[in-house]
Amino acid sequence: MTVERTKVRVYFSLFGNTFPLDYVTEKLGITPSNTYRKGDIIPNRSVTLFRKETSRDLDIGYQESLDVNEQSQQIITPLRNKVSIINEIKKIYSVECKFIIVVEIEVGNTPGFYLDRAVINFASNIEAAFDIDLYASPYEESNE
């Protein structure tokens, strides 16, 4: 039997109505983890659904962790010196920024949810929002 471990996923999304994904990638000099365009079909759905916006994500995927700040640092490190570029892209194409933090809690092991000044300052400088999702798996209590 394998014991599941608590996992944290953090990703950064630039999203908006429509904007040139290739141009943004070239300006940032960072290859996105995922992109889609407004109107694209959303895969793996029982009914046909279409994307309502264009999006470009930088994603580290799920990592075993008990410290959300570690994964947040991994996301902002390649972006840290790109504030002026991100703000220029936001202004030209009316896009928004968001950090998405997803925590899958296993066996009651909740991670520390601390965001240091570097993360907060970076998010503030690009006027990014935070979207936080917590998923807690049930666990059995001891019968002692």
Confirm if 17 and 54 have CB atoms less than 8 A apart: yes
Average pLDDT in the chain: 91
Mean pLDDT value of segment 132-142: 77
Is position 57 within any domain?
yes
Number of domains in the chain: 1
| Cα(58)–Cα(73) distance, integer angstroms | 13
Q: Where are the beta strands (DSSP E) in the chain?
A: 7-16, 34-36, 54-59, 63-64, 96-105, 129-136
pLDDT reading at 1 higher than 80: no
Is position 78 within any domain?
yes
* Residue-range definition of the domain harbouring residue 33: 7-136
The pTM assigned to this predicted structure is 0.87
Is position 143 within any domain?
no
Lowest-confidence segment of 59-63, 84-88, 137-141 by average pLDDT? 137-141
Is position 144 within any domain?
no
Considering only residues 1 and 141, tell me which one the structure prediction assigns the higher pLDDT. 141
Q: Which tokens belong to 66?
A: 């008990």
| Cα(28)–Cα(23) distance, integer angstroms | 9
pLDDT band at 120 (very low <50, low <70, confident <90, very high): very high
Is position 107 within any domain?
yes
| Cα(84)–Cα(87) distance, integer angstroms | 5
Is position 108 within any domain?
yes
Q: Which tokens belong to 127?
A: 């006027």
Is position 1 within any domain?
no
pLDDT band at 142 (very low <50, low <70, confident <90, very high): low
DSSP state of 67: B
Question: What's the chain's length in residues?
Answer: 144
Structural Rg of the chain based on CA atoms: 17
